[in-house]
Structure 1
Amino acid sequence: MTDLCDIDATTLLALYASGAVSPVEVTRAVLDRAAAMQPVLNPFVRIDAEPALAAAAASERAWRAGLPTRPLEGVPVSIKDTAMTRGWVLGRGSRLSIGQPAATEDAPSVARLRAAGAVIYACTTTCEGGWKAVTDSPLTGITRNAHDPAVTPGGSSGGAGAALASGCGPLALGSDGGGSVRVPASFSGIFGMKATFGRVPQWPIGPHYSDLSHYGPMTRSVADAALMLSVMEGYHPRDPYSFPPAAPGAFLAGPLALTGLRVGVTEDFGCLPVDPAVRTVFRAAVARAELAGATLVPVPDFADWRPTYRILWQAGAWQALRHLPAERLDLVDPAFRAEAFKGAAIPTGDLIEAQMRRIAYRQEAARLYETMDVMLSPSVSVLPFTAGRTVPDASWPDWLEWGGFAFLGNMTGQPAASIPAGFSASGLPVGVQVSGRGQDDVTVMRVCQTLEGHLAEGRRAPSQVVERLNA
């Protein structure tokens, strides 16, 4: 029999409809897998078994009675510890949350998942405040990669990445202020998408990411992400940046043929370092796209945007911490605190100039898509590296240097996804980033569905991942 933890959400819904499997047995399997993976990978802040089983039982009754069912009826989903969830303390990976009251309502994305019938079963780990692209924090410790526990799953949505890769549910909600969905998607061999800024409403916003941050789906199949995004998207009155949803069914239209599609290609944007192992996998993926009929378009070089992002990020970090009294500040991750104090020293003129450069990047990126429909690049400069570290080795000053491929999409607000593309010779996952023009999330998603079919060797079933873990 197929391992229930291998089955994606789209297939689960069909199996529920036929009566072949039930939401309760799937939720039990996911909870059992989560309990088994927690001591090995540490992907969870909490596993909420009793409410999850109660929700699954309600979904099971609806399916068995032939009652109207919702888009995610009975499908398990985890929520990153940056999204407010009713009944849970919003921790954001920080010891500052200890002793705080539980939330009395859901963030809009969580509320929409719940209203769609999803079974919310666990809260996934993050670094403190989502401040870096790996996942460890003073509150929850180190989260590890399901493909190799010695290395990081990336971050800051690393708990979600490790959970999905090891079969702990088919769906996860992540957040992305500087690659925090796409980096762990690449490092964990799963799919993750940062939709156009405003596509998925946010409330409350993170303490320092402002309009750099996006919520997004993390899944093992692109179709599942399309389903999840179709549930979460659309205007919400608490988020003034949110906008109306796409046309009904737009995200569920399926793959888009690559024949004649203008696909921009860049290995490094002319300014970013890339590990040779990452280049190898990326070039093979581009060759597959060209064989499938894509018209490849060279992407012109960009001026390095990492210094601009660094200023915006460090200033935001200072904003997050500057009102804390000394005794509370002592509870904060010392490395996060150090970055915040760098933000305190940024001259006002430099901050304003960075904001203006960000506008220029938005305009330059918008012009770029006059000549192409989507763009392919590596998702991350490096392979997954030792867990508990912020950089691969001493040659990298900090994570802002190796995480640079993701930052452009956060600064421009344009949609960007990471799709599994293959494995390095050492057996570690590598992702390819697929980016698109603003508000054209549907094309990005549909192209990713097409590429998924051409890059099947880039994915491992959770049962295979767990078997390797147990070997």
Structure 2
Amino acid sequence: MQNGIAWLSATALRDAYHRKALSPVEVTETVLRRAEALQSSINAFCLIDPQAALAQARASEARWLRGEPQGLLDGVPVSIKDIILTKGWPTLRGSKAVDPNQAWDEDGPAVARLREHGAVVFGKTTTSEFASKPATSTALCGITRNPWNPERTPGGSSGGAGAAIAAGIAPLALATDAGGSIRMPSSLCGVFGFKPGGGRVPMYPPTPYASLAGFGPMTRTVTDAALMLSVISQPDGRDWEALPPDGMAYHEKLQADPRTWRIAWSPTMHGARVDAEVAALTAAAAKVFTQLGAKVELVETVCENDKDLLGRVMRGFTDFAFSSFTPEQLAVIDPEIVQRIEASRGATAISHLDAEMQRAQFARHMNDFHQHYDLLLTPVTAVAAFPIEQRAPEGYAGRDWYPFLSSFNLTRQPAASVPCGFTREGMPVGLQIVGPRHHDLRVLQAAYAFEQAAPWAAHRPALAEAID
């Protein structure tokens, strides 16, 4: 039974607590045991706090026994990516350059909402340093590995979250995405990941990267992600740029009629080169929407490649973000990241604003695109997970193996990664579902419809199944 507990969804856990068939303490003990047992194999966590987790679980158990659960996630275990402020724990951002000896006396907005709804916050997942690389390997925490094959990468920067969810450690993970950091590891690890639209989930503290970023869920089911979004999208006055709260119970509104959708399927988006197996699996996934009754049209070119635009926008952000770092701090940062920091030096306001004006034109182009299409489908990445010692897949350079992601950070559109099959080597592949800005619910509804037609949650890594 213990192994069975590990794979229960948040929704199933809530039901079991209500029926008194399970206790939050029993579930949390299972989570902690699995996290410890799998840590040496996949290294998904930089911090696990059994004492704090069990204290939260005991408080939750008492509430359920009184018949007074606290919110939507009472007693459900959740991990937090080590980019997000979490009271009582250091937030080191995967870097030795961050001083751990600070007060750490504040939760970020999403963490605060999770606690208010009774979630058991038990640990922090690994991230690439400053969430800036597509693989999760740092001098601070070491290498995080993919549960489907520990010799393959889980992607980044939310690699720890993706690995933890895929390995059945806990049902919910809170992660961030400023250039694909939720969607990429979700695809490579075979889990569901949702990047909310810009401003949907309040963020704090302020960061120059905020206009690119979204804080969102990584889960094994769409319903769990929608449930989590119902919680973390609630208002927080610390983020003055957040969208007005819509009061949406996303998890209660997932049913929709696909026959009303006009969908664009773009296998390359702007001429990207995609591995043949990934191309075949994602094309087959797109056909599922046709079978569901949606009108699906092939669109070879959606937009221009955003690589140069993203680089220009990021240059200004990076120069500002690291302007106060000392030589001593830079000396302990990944040399590749330092190289990017140095290349950003001297960014001017004029050049940055010029890039932002071009970004506005790009966003308008996508707004116009969605006048014709309710949703856009693409691969998530051009390849499946590759050997962990490689900086990029063989035959690809730089961002060329994940060319489908950052466009929707620039435009602040909601986007999800849904598992859609496995390569011959047994590695997961994801389909990306993109919606117009402010249409988070539509993306979740489309993901839910796909999940019902082509369920994925029963697929589990052998490495994780072996842990009891």
| TM-score of Structure 1 vs Structure 2, range by shorter chain | over 0.9
Q: Which residue of 2 aligns with 1:292?
A: 292
Q: Aligned residue for 1:256?
A: 256
Rounded to whole Å, the distance in 1 between the matches of 2:211 and 2:178 is 8
Is 2:464 aligned against 1:466?
A: yes
How far does residue 36 in structure 1 lie from its aligned partner after superposition? 0.7
For the 8 Å contact 1:201–1:239, the answer to whether it is kept is yes
Q: Which deviations, in whole Å up to 9, do the C-alpha atoms of 1:188-219 show, x marking residues without a partner?
A: 1001111111000000134x523111100110
User: Quick check: 249-258 or 266-275, which moved more?
Assistant: 249-258
Contact 1:3 1:463 (C-alpha < 8 Å) held by counterparts: no
How many Å separate the matches in 1 of 2:272 and 2:350? 26
Aligned to 2:223: 223
Is residue 2:201 matched to residue 1:203? no
Which amino acid letter does the alignment assign opposite residue 427 of structure 1? G
For 1:154, the aligned partner's letter is G
Per-residue deviation, residues 19-78 of structure 1 (Å, max 9, x unmatched): 111111110001000001111100001101111011111111111221244210100000
CA distance in 2, matches of 1:348, 1:242: 24
3-state DSSP of counterpart to 2:176: strand
Equivalent residue for 1:437? Answer: 436
State the partner residue of 1:232: 232
Residue of structure 1 in register with 2:280 after alignment: 280
SS in 2 for 1:322: coil
Matched-pair contact (CA < 8 Å) for 1:420–1:459: no
Matched AA of 2:402: G
- Which whole-Å deviations, capped at 9, do the CAs of 1:397-421 have from their partners, x for residues lacking one? 32x2222211111000010011111
User: Which residue is equivalent to 1:126?
Assistant: 127
Deviates more, 1:298-307 or 1:147-156: 298-307
Q: Alignment partner of 2:297: what SS?
A: strand
Aligned residues of 1:422 and 1:455 also touching (Cα < 8 A): no
* 5+ long unaligned stretches in structure 2: none
Matches within 5 A, 1:27-176: 27-176=28-177
Greater CA deviation, 345-354 or 123-132?
A: 345-354
The letter of the residue matching 2:272 is: L
- Kindly indicate whether residue 308 of structure 2 is the aligned counterpart of residue 307 of structure 1: yes
| Cα pair 2:319 2:347 within 8 Å, conserved | no
Q: Is the 8 A contact 2:227 2:250 kept in 1?
A: no
Note if contact 2:148-2:461 (Cα within 8 Å) is conserved in structure 1: no
Aligned to 1:178: 179
Secondary structure of the structure 2 residue equivalent to 1:259:
helix
Instruction: Give the Cα–Cα distance (whole angstroms) in 2 for the partners of residues 441 and 24 of structure 1.
Output: 33
Taking the aligned partners of 1:234 and 1:118, their CA distance within structure 2 comes to 15
Coordinate RMSD, CA, aligned? 1.8
Q: Can you list the C-alpha shifts for 1:109-136, whole angstroms capped at 9, x where unaligned?
A: 0000011000000100001110012111
**1:332, CA displacement in angstroms?**
1.2
Is the 2:192–2:220 Cα contact (8 Å) retained in structure 1?
A: yes
* Alpha-carbon distance change, 353 to 390 in structure 1, aligned in 2, over 3 angstroms: farther
User: What is the rounded CA distance, in whole Å, between the counterparts of 1:144 and 1:194 in structure 2?
Assistant: 22
In the TM superposition, residue 455 of structure 1 has moved relative to its aligned partner by 2.0
CA distance in 1, matches of 2:263, 2:284: 15
Q: Secondary structure at the match of 1:404?
A: coil
Contact 2:78 2:171 (8 Å CA) reproduced: yes
Alignment partners' CA distance in 2, 1:92 and 1:118: 22
% of aligned pairs identical? 37
In 2, the alpha carbon distance for the partners of 1:224 and 1:364 equals 32
User: CA 1:367 to 1:234, structure 2 compared with 1: closer, same or farther past 3 Å?
Assistant: farther
* Distance across 2 between alignment mates of 1:427 and 1:44: 24
- Secondary structure (helix, strand or coil) at the match of 2:430 reads strand
Kept in 2, the 8 Å contact 1:198–1:241? The answer is: yes
Report SS of the residue matched to 1:175.
strand
Q: CA deviation at 1:16?
A: 0.6
Q: State whether residues 131 and 156 of structure 1, in contact with CA within 8 Å, keep that contact through their aligned partners in structure 2.
A: yes
Q: CA deviation at 1:379?
A: 0.9
How far 1:297 sits from its partner (Å)?
A: 2.7
Contact 2:227 2:249 (8 Å CA) reproduced: no
Q: Which residue of 2 aligns with 1:241?
A: 241
Distance 1:75 1:235 in 2: 21
Which aligned runs of 4 or more in structure 1 are off by greater than 6 angstroms? none
Partner in structure 2 of residue 419 of structure 1 = 418
**In structure 2, distance between residues paired with 1:27 and 1:241:** 35
Q: Partner of 2:160: helix, strand, or coil?
A: helix
Quote the Cα distance in structure 1 between the aligned partners of 2:156 and 2:332: 21
Structure 1 residue 348: deviation in Å?
A: 6.0
**Alignment coverage as a number of residue pairs:** 466
Aligned to 1:187: 188
Aligned to 1:447: 446
Contact 1:315–1:340 (Cα < 8 Å) also in 2 = no
Per-residue CA distance 1:166-201 (angstroms, 9 max, x = gap): 011100000001000000100110011111110000
User: Given residue 437 of structure 1, which amino acid in structure 2 is its aligned partner?
Assistant: P
Separation in 2, partners of 1:145, 1:250: 30
Q: Distance in 2 between matches of 1:417 and 1:94?
A: 28
Given that 1:89 and 1:97 are in contact with CA atoms closer than 8 Å, whether structure 2 keeps it comes out as no
1:374 aligns with 2:375: yes
Segment of structure 1 superposing worse, 321-330 or 133-142: 321-330
| Aligned equivalent of 1:8 | 9
Which stretches in structure 1 are left out of the alignment for 5+ residues? none
Contact 1:251/1:446 (8 A) holds in 2: no
Q: Which residue identity is paired with 1:272?
A: A
Q: For each residue in 1:348-384, what CA deviation from the matched residue of structure 2 results, as whole angstroms up to 9, or x when unmatched? A: 6553432222111110111111111111111112211
